Structures are given as C-alpha cells and as structure tokens.
Amino acid sequence: MPIKLDMQDFDVSDGRQSEKLRQKLGSLGKSLIMWCKSHPRLEDLIVDFYVTRVSDYQIQWVGLYPIPVLGNEDLLSVFPHIHFVLPQNGDGPWFGIDVEFQNPRAVVAGKIHPGNRAGVTGAVDALRAARGATIDIYRKKVLAENHRIYRWEGRLDTTRPLIIAEHVNSADVRWIYDKLTAPLNRAADPDWIWEPILSVAYQYRAADLVAMGANLESRLRQDIEMMEPFLRFLR
C-alpha cells in the first residue's frame, strides 16, 4: 500500500501521533530498501533503514544506511547516510545526505583535499549529478563526552547563498573542505562543542509532500538515484 503523508504528520504533539508517524516512516524505509536492493547501482550503497527512537516529538526521521542496522547501532555514526526528516517546528522537511560525524567528515575531507585534483573533480561531478539539491554546511552542538548526544543549530554561514548542486564548482568544493576542517569556537557551555555538518539535500514544503499522495515514494526514489554518484564518491 502506498505511503502517504498528511498535514498531521507535521504537527505531532503526543506519543500516539508520534508512533503513528514513525510506523509510516518505517513502512517507507522498508519499501525504499527493498527497491534499493533490486537496483544495480544502489544495492551495495543502501541496505537498511532506521527510524529515530528519540522520545522527543519534535524529532521525526527515517535514515537509510549502507550497513545492516540491527545490532550495529553504534556504527550508525561511522558512515554517511540519507535522512528523510519531517520537522515539527515549522522548518521545511528535507531528504538528503548528511555528513555529520567525525569519521565521515574525515573521509570527505581527505577525498576533497585541495592537493587531490582527481578527488576535487570527482566531487564536482558527483555533486552536479544531484540536480535540484542544495549544498550547505550546518553546525551542531555536541556533548563533549558523547558525540551521539547533539542538536543541530542551523546554517554555519547565513550570509552565504546555498550552493545549487548542478552549479557547483571547484571553489565551492574548496569552501566545503575549509569549513569541514577548520576548528570551530567552543560553545559557551564548556561541556559542549561545535561541529560542522555537510548537507546535500532536497528541500521540500510540507504541503508539497502531502500533495504527492501515493507518488511520494516515487519522488524519493528519483532523489536517491540523483544522489547515487555522491554516495558512491563517499565510499
């Protein structure tokens, strides 16, 4: 049965609504994984999904991962992955790749080092393939003693326009490298630190996702296919 969203999925305020939405996201994740496993270019890139278990109603998402998830939850932060995020605070939903943890950031930085011309060219080509996506660096506030406890804090540089994927160039890739590798000032609270996040995502409006009806999954499949070159670049 096709997965459809409604506006209530963007206004979750209690446990019952949260569980209903997370069941829906689980069904969507399962269906997308079955499709990826049958896709010749994706079967080795996306093999499992994970729906958030955080009790906070404001956090609703399903992630698509390159590893089996059950029993490997500690490895979820080791690999770049795709998220479908439905904010409950009025922010726009998005579907895309986020490179937010230390190990994946180090891998990306190594691949796009300014001295690695082939890597920079490969990144440009792979990012341009994600037509319609936007690229940006966000920041998150991370508990110094446990990097898995964190919260996103918005864009790192609000004065810089979003990068349009099909227009990305080597200067943009250099900016991404600089932001991923430059040390950030510590948060005001000494128990927390700032960390950068690379986002390559398709931005949506809630009403548009609802209007897609039964075509929602088909649209997300198209997005995955366009992000595949960058997912493979990240391997």
The confidence score (pLDDT) of residue 188 equals 73
Query: Which two three-digit tokens encode residue 21?
Result: 């939405």
Tens digit of each residue's pLDDT (9 = 90 or more) over 170-202: 999 999 999 999 987 766 778 888 899 999 999
Phi, psi of 164 (to 5 degrees): -85, 125
80-139: pLDDT as tens digits: 899 999 999 888 999 999 998 888 999 999 999 999 999 999 999 999 999 999 999 999
- Environment class of residue 10 by beta-carbon count within 10 Å: exposed (0-12), middle (13-18) or buried (19+)? buried
Per-chain mean pLDDT for the chain: 93
Whether 1 has a pLDDT exceeding 90, the answer reads: no
Write out the H or E segment, with its range, that includes residue 152. Answer: strand 146-155
Coil, strand or helix: which one is 171? helix
Q: How does 98-125 read in b/e, with b if 16+ C-beta sit within 10 Å?
A: bbbbeebbebbbebbeeeeeebbebbbe
Query: In sequence order, what are the beta bridge partners of 203?
Result: 94
Rounded to whole angstroms, the Cα distance separating 105 from 234 reads 10
pLDDT tens-digit readout, 158-170: 999 999 999 999 9
Q: 68 and 86 in contact (C-beta within 8 Å)?
A: no
Q: Exposed, middle or buried: residue 202 (CB in 10 Å: 0-12, 13-18, 19+)?
A: buried
Least confident among 136-140, 152-156, 211-215, 227-231: 152-156
Separation between Cα atoms, residue 235 and residue 221, nearest integer Å? 20
What per-residue confidence (pLDDT) applies to 187?
A: 64
Cα–Cα dist 167/63, whole Å: 27
| 8-38 per-position pLDDT tens digit | 999 999 999 999 999 999 999 999 999 999 9
- What token pair was written down for 84? 């479908």
| 165 Rama sector, left if φ>0, alpha if ψ -120 to 50, beta otherwise | alpha
Identify the pLDDT of residue 9: 97
